[in-house]
Amino acid sequence: MQKVYARPAWCMNCHLCEVNCIIAHSRSRDLFRAYKRENLRGTARVIVEERLPLSVAVQCRHCDDPICVAGCISGAMVKDPATGIVYCQEDKCVGCWTCVAGCPYGAIRPGEKNGRPVPLKCDLCRETGEPACVAGCPNRALVWEERGAGA
Amino acid sequence: MPTLSLMPTEFTVVRNEEKCIKCLACVRQCGFEAQQYDAEDDRLYAIDANCVNCQRCVSICPAGALTIYKNPPPLRPHAFWTENHLRNIAKQAETGGVLLTGMGNDQPFPAYFDRLLLNASQVTNPSIDPLREPMELRTYLGRRPEPGAKTRTPLVPIATPIMFSAMSYGSISHEAFASLARAAKEFDTMFNTGEGGLPGDLYEYADHAVVQVASGRFGVHADYLNAGRIVEIKIGQGAKPGIGGHLPGEKITAPVAATRMIPEGTDALSPAPHHDIYSIEDLKQLIFTLKEATRYQKPVSVKVSAVHNVAAIASGIARAGADIIAIDGFRGGTGAAPTMIRDHVGIPIELAIAAVDQRLRDEGIRNQVSLVAAGGFRSSADVVKAIALGADAVYIATAALIALGCHLCQKCYTGKCSWGIATQDPYRSRRLNPEIGAERLYNLLRGWSHEIKEMLGGMGINSIESLRGNRLHLRGVGLNEVELKLLGVKHAGEAM
Amino acid sequence: MMLKEGEYRIPSGCAISGFINRDGRRVNGSAIIQSMALMQERSNGLGGGFAAYGIYPEYQDYYALHLLFEDKLSRNQVEELIKDNFYIEAEDRIPTRHVRSIGKAPLLWRYFVTPRMAKIEESQETEADFMSRLVMRINDSVAGAYVVSSGKNMGAFKGVGYPEDIGEFFRLDEYQAYSWIAHGRFPTNTPGWWGGAHPFTLLDWSVVHNGEISSYGANRRFLEMYGYKMTLQTDTEVVAYAIDLLVRRHGLPLETAARVLAAPFWQEIDRLPAVERELYTHLRVVYGNLLLNGPFSIIVGFSGGFMALNDRIKLRPLVAASCGATLYAASEEAAIREICPDVEKVWYPRGGEPVIGRLEEETQCRLSA
């Protein structure tokens, strides 16, 4: 499947992927509303890990056999059989955070939305096409590619 | 270092708090530690004294929340004791050092390009539409065989009369260097290695490289010379005629050291003169040494700064056996130069081209050599004017760096370049992805080349060689008689 | 005060026509005049001229100097120069007849001369170089004097007026030539000077030209490097000098010289077989500055032949035709049909493709014997 891959050689640690992710997952899809009214600062589903001078954006790998899906006690976390995207059906989540604990990449963080628990994880912007982090990366350090199984 | 600076800061960073989303991109991207974040108070602030106005934070800010202002002059206005002089004196009083700067001369000397206008066809001959008719920019560099000559020196074709000028690996990052190399190859023109050798992983671009041999001989070896397409002896550069180079040890990282063939962390010092060239006959020996080393398969170029006697010097270079003469005008850039030298030595490239071209014609040897001009080409119109004055091709460097992101903050010598260009710090240099850099440079060449075709077509010319030295297509505006005579052009309003 | 031609450049539109009898048959000038008269609307009465080859068989070993003088003084100066450097075999006033539409003519003289060997040796030049330098010296430095032509067994006749009137004025019906070329001029200014009309000549070369060459400045500065002095600032002068440099001094065949003046495009050169590709690449690299860029059609006359040539994208009209041993070239097909109604073959040469007519070999031998 087509996934987001980081090219650490060109990651310049600007964290704009996080900003674009937040906007893409906001209600308003607007920078100022997302940050100033919806208060979404810190809710990015992609996180730039830093060990300067190196940095790299980390997000869900959409595993073939996802531990988060296997461990989900409410059946909220699913892998779409058609697209391969692993995502959370937010209305079913009960906030047990088994997925957070189970993810081998640390790509899921606990969060909340409208007072309800929601795991913060990459859904590859499944509703809009090209992931916002890729589209907005100023240095092409993130790419959205088909690299075959095991990649 | 005194703790108190007598001069107010040059720039002020203004953050629009209404807009700022505190994403901290500015803090992470500022190369000069001007942008700061106080985590305890969750507060962003700026240390104005550190700001060099490189515009990196402004460009990267997703909220458009940043503006940098130039502070008003610190003292009452003075036409003679300008702000520049006051700042320089204060700085020297603090440090006792030589003033350093980067990029080219920024003083308000006349720009002759801005006093020259181009011609176009009306009625008596048709203009040509480059979208419908072939329009030729291909240019050959190298020595032209004389009629009846038995031997031929190789000629090097370039698809457009624009090449990338010398910028050494070490003074610029590997990423910037690779961007230039890729773009040159894709557009089928040349880049110039500068005096720091060619990094091993970029030899695949060597067939589009002018490989330079400078007074420090950094990175010069037989494979290097034979890999390049043209060999260039660098005598001087426009930004600092008569001055050598000094790349400080902190920029001599392991890969730079390997390419330059010097120990890591040592200063790379280029002597002011070549110590084997104290006269023109010595130059001839070096030219032929390099020709021997490359089995006469590479044209040899000699690059000099445009100085007062440049016409005679160029003639000597031609007679010493050079195939290409490159002349670098006083607006040419550099990674580091003493400010006084950069701003006060050399002559404008427009006058130098005119003088050299005319001198070589007077001596009947213009057709033997190619003439490449460098130093301050800001647009395709400048290129067209240079060729009409008599150049075969031009070198661009500052324009290329601007295409890569440079905002002319003139702080190249600090090694802190926020744009990843003039730095060896991997944290900074990796923000210049050569894929993107090469595309931007390619676009620049493409845009300029197309504009040149438009201008040629307007003049009723469909080949660049019909423009070369064709000063009848130029007219001066607001130039005095001496200037017109030196440039070999008539004043606007005069007929053909 | 208006500047004289030569002190500034005058773009012109034009009519050109020419023919050669390859069998050496000589005919008088009425046909070429008739051909030009048909294209009258292509000129505006401010310049017309002719060049004729084979007209002076009795003096074929002598340079025929056609001169025009504004006044007696310039004539005296030139005659002194001529006597200094040449033996004069014969001299006379060029015969003319009164034509109402032709205004005041300058003094028109011709001299049949041969250079003094001692003078050539002194100059350390070839005879041709010596001759051409002397012609340039007269044009350049003797105010009021102008050499109209200087070849052997040929002559140029030109002046201000419509070409048919100029032909009448110079009594061209009384000359017999195997090759005629002619020109009618439409200058955008009023030059009012007889020397500015076409053809332009140098030694045996004569050139008539229609067009404006946008590369003039580049061509001119290249030729200046080889010692040519541009006294007229016309494109025609540049064409003549370029051909002289390429063919006489650098030894290129005329066909190759045509490929310099109207060079093939790089995209065409790139498609050629290796040997030709290298030849054309070098031609363009070495002589790039001689590429005549911009619209032109020219007819170049020379001893024993002529060449018609278009610019490489054919921005000016040029038609060629043949009938028996005669080869024609003109701006318009009608100008050819006017004098050869039974023309056998008519074609429109492609841009940059030279049409060359030469005397047949035996004719050439017979004529020069």
Interface of B with A in 410-429 (CB under 8 A): 420, 425-427
Min Cα–Cα distance to chain A from B27, Å: 9
Neighbours of B283 (CB within 10 A): 23
Burial C220-258 (b: 16+ CB within 10 A, else e): bbbbebeebbbbbbbbbbbbbbbbbbbbbebebebebbb
Cα(C77)–Cα(C69) distance, integer angstroms: 10
What residue of B is the nearest CA neighbor of C250? B147
User: By CA distance, what is B389's nearest residue in C?
Assistant: C218
C6 contact B CB<8A: no
Find, in chain B, the residue whose alpha carbon is nearest to that of C226: B364
pLDDT of residue A125: 95
A5 vs A151: CA distance, rounded Å: 9
pLDDT at B101: 95
Interface check for B58 against chain A (CB to CB < 8 A): the answer is: no
E strands in C94-160: 107-115, 145-149, 154-159
Residues of B in contact with C223 (CB under 8 A): none
Instruction: Kindly tell me if the per-residue pLDDT of C10 is higher than 90.
Output: no
Average pLDDT over residues A57-71: 95
B113-491 carries CATH number 3.20.20.70:
yes
Min distance B23 CA to chain A CA atoms (Å): 7
Which of B19, B426, B436 is facing A139, going by the closest CB pair?
A: B436
Q: Which single residue is written with the structure tokens 């015969």?
A: C95
Interface check for B20 against chain A (CB to CB < 8 A): the answer is no
Q: Is the whole-model pTM more than 0.80?
A: yes
C80 Cβ contact partners less than 8 Å away, ≥ 6 residues apart: none
State the DSSP code for B112.
G
> How many Cα atoms sit within 13 Å of B461 on the Cβ side?
32
Torsion of CA B52, B55, B57, B63, to 10 degrees: 140
pLDDT value, residue B1: 46
**A32: closest CA of chain B, how far (Å):** 7
How many angstroms separate the CA of residue C200 from the nearest CA in chain B?
Answer: 19
Judged against a pLDDT cut of 90, whether residue C55 lies above it is answered with: yes
Cβ–Cβ contact A141 with B under 8 A = yes
Looking at residue C46, what is its pLDDT?
85
CB contact under 8 A, C291 and B134: no
Please report, for chain C, the start and end positions of each structural domain, with discontinuous segments joined by +: 12-368
Q: Nearest residue of B to residue C252 by CA position? A: B147
C84-98: pLDDT as tens digits: 999 999 999 999 999
Selected for mutation to probe chain C from B468, B470, B487, B489 (highest C CB count within 10 Å) is: B470
**Beta strand pairing call for B300-305 and B324-328:** parallel
- The residue of chain B with its CA nearest to that of C12 is B124
Q: What does the pLDDT look like over B202-256, one tens digit per residue?
A: 999 999 999 999 999 999 999 999 999 999 999 999 999 999 988 999 999 999 9
Topology given in CATH for the domain delimited by B11-97: Alpha-Beta Plaits (3.30.70)
CA atoms within 13 A on the CB side of A123: 17
Q: How far B399 CA sits from the closest chain C CA (Å)? A: 28
CB contact under 8 A, C289 and B496: no
Q: By the CB < 8 Å criterion, does B408 face chain A?
A: no
Nearest CA in chain C to B462: C293
pLDDT at A149: 66
Q: Where in chain B is the domain with CATH 3.30.70.20?
A: 11-97
Q: What pLDDT digit, counting tens, does each position of A33-54 carry?
A: 999 999 999 999 999 999 999 9
B453–C contact, CB cutoff 8 A: no
Cα A20 to Cα A42, A55, A117, A121, A136, distances in angstroms: 12, 17, 22, 14, 7
C/B Cβ contact: 3+ pairs below 8 Å: yes
Q: Cβ of C214 and B133 within 8 Å? A: no
Which of chain C's residues have a Cβ under 8 Å away from the Cβ of B140?
Answer: 281, 284-285
The Cβ-side half-sphere exposure at A15, using a 13 Å CA radius, reads 20
Q: Which among C20, C45, C143 has a CA at the least distance from the CA of C100?
A: C45
Any alpha helices (H) in B39-171, and if so which ranges?
56-60, 83-95
Task: Mark whether C323 is an active-site residue.
Answer: no
Report the alpha-carbon distance of residue C58 to residue B335 in Å, rounded: 77
Q: Flag whether pLDDT at A26 surpasses 90.
A: yes
DSSP helix/strand/coil, B136: strand
- CB-CB neighbors (< 8 A) of C312 in chain B: 462
The tens digit of pLDDT for each residue in A3-25 reads 999 999 999 999 999 999 999 99
Rounded to an integer, the average pLDDT of A130-135 is: 96
Q: Is the pLDDT of residue C369 over 60?
A: no
Taking the CA of residue B116 and the nearest CA in chain C, the distance in Å comes to 16
**ipTM tops the 0.90 cut:** yes
DSSP secondary structure string for all residues of B2-48: -S--SS--SEEEEE-TTT-----HHHHH-TTS-EEEETTTTEEEE-G
- C12-368: CATH class: alpha beta
Query: φ, ψ for residue B409 (rounded to 5)?
Result: -75, -10
Question: Residue A38: what residue type?
Answer: E
Low-confidence ranges of chain B (pLDDT < 70): 1-3, 74, 148, 151
Indicate the residue of B24, B425, B427 with minimum beta-carbon distance to A15.
B24
Return the residue matching tokens 């498609």.
C271
Touching, A vs C (3+ Cβ pairs under 8 A): no
Q: Which domains can be identified in chain A, with CATH numbers?
A: 1-59+124-151 (no CATH), 64-121 (3.30.70.20)
